Amino acid sequence: MSSHDHPHQNEEDDEPAMLSADEAAEEYADIDGDAAMDSGSDGEPEDQDEIMEEIALQNDSAAHFDLHKDSIFTIAQHPLLPSITATGGSEGDDAGGIGYIFDSTPDPEDQGPVLPEGWQSAPGERKERKGLESIFTLEGHTDSINALTFTLPNGEFLLSGGLDGRLRAWGQRSKDGRKWAFVGEAQEVEEINWVAACPNPSVPNTVALGANDGSVWVYTVEKESKDAPLQIVQSYFLHTEACTAGAWSSDGKLLATVSEDGSLYVWDVFGEGAAAGLTQGEGGAYVVGLTSLDQRFAVEGGLFSVAIAPSGAFVVVGGAGGAIKVVGLPRLGSEASGSAPAGRSGAGASSKGKGGKQVGGKAAGTAASAGQAGQILADLQAQTDGIETLAFAPPPLTLLAAGSVDGSIALFDSAHRFAVRRHIKEAHEDYSVVKVEFVKNSRTGGWLLTSCGMDGVVRRWDTRGGTGMANSGFVREWKGHRGDGEGGGVLGFVQGDGSRIVTAGDDGISLVFDAPIA
């Protein structure tokens, strides 16, 4: 991703940085051993006694899971059993993909700090802590698993998507989430980039995925079908390059996807927009469609993140150079929300038209309004490199958080023309911010924001500000991954109600951090 040449300046830019270089740096301890050696004129060391320089690594975790042999690319959390966690990644070069389901609850009798094998600073003094055990192994992918999601609303199934193009389903076989079984597999693409569970209660166990060829697919898991449990609900083919991200509206009626080609489509998956005459494209596939052909929307370098406001009034996309666009959405009424959406009765049929096609008839009694659908409501530019992650605060808050490759987090207020409320320039120093997510906890009122980055650190922020270093709102950080660009970044996390954070490490370790909320 290329940096933007002319980042927008705002009054927040003058705020002091969150961390000074001294505060942010790893600690180094000089212990007998290997420091830089002075050489004589003959090239031989003048001092034959090697001075060891040892990195003092900090590990704040309460537990760890270390069965992965290579990077952990993705992590998911059961919606009803938050301790049940799934991770997916690579087995190494040409060794296929692997995933695990485990219980992230730390053992209260096994809390000694530990660094994974090979990281300990003093092997003789290392306190042993047993790693968490696997409940179930996700096998069958011939390439890395890079997308996982439990289905909604009850987590009955776990879906894994891989760089082998396979979508594999695993079914829960016990109430405590400790027994699972393989259900079925589908493959229509070469590589799967992401998988997202649909929150629409009328269509349980439904997921969407985006592929490297730009296609978008919606599947549902039919529990009663033994021959073909994974059934196609919809498929769309308007993105011309890789589909990089997707997000459902909070009611699960609309699906927004973005692509490296700079396009945004908001798909009318279940036909409610079509029933109200609000759709566009062949067969009424989408309610909003914007591409780089519209110069007002064009983002050189493509789009990489997307989020729909909890109200459903607009969608936000993030792309290269720090570009963020806000686009209005039609308002689909809820009068018909108690009945199955249009298309559900035909969920088993595929719709492989040019732009996609609804399956089934119209939804009765749907109230909808075009409103500002498709209009570019704001064009934001507070950061200087790609926007990797976007997240909305829970209502009634109106904050939008954006994490960038430049290491910063920007907070915008959607209720005040998306004014920049805070720009935490060194949120993760010079390392990419991988994920931001608000803590949805009634005790906090939704103000807390958790972030992770390629520096290997998880941090938490009070978005009201006024606390922490440099008035950034910094609350606390958790360390334990290798970080520092040495293949030890945090590639994702799950946090439930915020009291416990579980990570996916590029170093192949999943760490569990206790994160009590005062």
Q: What integer is the mean pLDDT of 154-164?
A: 98
Q: Which two tokens stand for residue 431?
A: 């390392």
Confirm whether 85 is domain-assigned: yes
Confirm whether 167 is domain-assigned: yes
**Residue 285: how many CB atoms within 10 A of its CB?**
26
Where in the sequence is the domain holding 105, given as residue range(s)? 74-111+129-193+206-213
Q: Is the pLDDT of residue 372 over 60?
A: yes
The whole-angstrom separation of Cα 490 and Cα 459 is: 11
- Cβ(422)–Cβ(15) below 8 Å: yes
Q: Which two tokens stand for residue 481?
A: 């991954």
Confirm whether 185 is domain-assigned: yes
Q: Is the pLDDT of residue 152 over 50?
A: yes
Confirm whether 79 is domain-assigned: yes
pTM: 0.82
Give the range among 35-44, 304-313, 436-445 with minimum mean pLDDT: 35-44
Q: For residue range 11-49, what is the model confidence (pLDDT) as tens digits?
A: 444 443 333 334 333 333 333 333 333 334 444 444 444
The whole-angstrom separation of Cα 492 and Cα 153 is: 22
Query: What percent of the chain lies above the pLDDT cut of 90?
Result: 67
DSSP 274: H
pLDDT band at 94 (very low <50, low <70, confident <90, very high): confident
**Preceding amide of 16 cis, omega within 30:** no
The whole-angstrom separation of Cα 55 and Cα 456 is: 15
Residue 450 forms beta bridges with which residues?
437, 460
- 3-state secondary structure string across 248-260: ECCCCCCEEEEEC
Q: Which two tokens stand for residue 81?
A: 């059993």
Q: For residue range 178-228, what is the model confidence (pLDDT) as tens digits?
A: 999 999 999 999 999 999 999 999 999 999 999 999 999 999 999 888 888
User: Tell me, what CATH number does 175's domain have?
Assistant: 2.130.10.10
Which pLDDT does position 112 carry in this prediction?
Answer: 52
Q: What integer is the mean pLDDT of 254-275?
A: 96
Residue 169: its H or E element: strand 166-172
Q: Is the pLDDT of residue 337 over 70?
A: no
Confirm whether 169 is domain-assigned: yes
Structurally, the chain folds into a number of domains equal to 1
Give the range among 85-94, 112-121, 203-212, 334-343 with minimum mean pLDDT: 334-343
Confirm whether 54 is domain-assigned: no
